[in-house]
């Protein structure tokens, strides 16, 4: 009986450690069945479904085009080397090598990691004509693009930190 208990305890501990490592690897997205850093297939998920999965703050920004206040997001002044992913679906978006300090208060990049990582849409909200940047995989709002960035593209992808996940190299 003691042997069976000992074997069960060892198996349970092994499972707990492995599951804990899995949760660390998905970065708290264990309740989001659509989150993947490797799957690039386009998603067709309703806003009602996203609302059940995402935090209220992420839902407001990613699905309702809210904007976080400048200088408040966790990545606006981050210098670490790594990769930025869509916080909603895990799609790879930007490398830290393309990040620059724009002093606007939001994380800014001069190019996406792949041209097909993001899509664009006209945005004339708040009396301004801008170009909205969305995740190409899930269609979530990331931020806006402007023509005042550095070489080589002279573009500034001005993103909301909450719409991004960062994984260090």
Which residues are part of the catalytic machinery? 158
Contact partners, residue 51, CB within 8 Å, separation at least 6:
59, 63
- Residues 88, 55, 82: CA angle, nearest 5 degrees: 45
Residues 39 and 46: their CA atoms lie apart, in Å, by: 19
- The CA-CA-CA angle for residues 49, 21, 38, to 5°, reads 55
H/E run at residue 18: helix 2-25
Report the run of H or E that residue 57 belongs to, with start and end: helix 56-64
For 52, the token pair is 């059940």
């Amino acid at each position: 009986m003691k042997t069976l208990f000992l074997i069960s305890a060892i198996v349970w501990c092994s499972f707990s450690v492995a599951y804990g490592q899995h949760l660390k690897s998905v970065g708290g997205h264990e309740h989001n069945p659509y989150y993947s850093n490797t799957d690039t297939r386009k998603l067709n998920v309703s806003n009602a479904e996203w609302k059940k999965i995402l935090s209220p703050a992420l839902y407001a920004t990613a699905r309702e085009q809210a904007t976080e206040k400048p200088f408040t997001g966790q990545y606006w002044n981050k210098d670490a080397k790594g990769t930025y992913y869509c916080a909603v679906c895990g799609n790879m978006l930007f490398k830290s090598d393309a990040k620059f300090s724009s002093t606007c208060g939001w994380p800014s990049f001069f190019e996406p990691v792949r041209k097909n990582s993001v899509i664009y849409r006209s945005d004339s909200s708040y009396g301004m004509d801008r170009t909205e940047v969305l995740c190409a995989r899930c269609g979530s709002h990331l931020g806006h693009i402007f023509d005042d960035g550095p070489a080589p593209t002279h573009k500034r992808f001005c993103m909301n930190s909450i719409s991004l996940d960062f994984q260090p190299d």
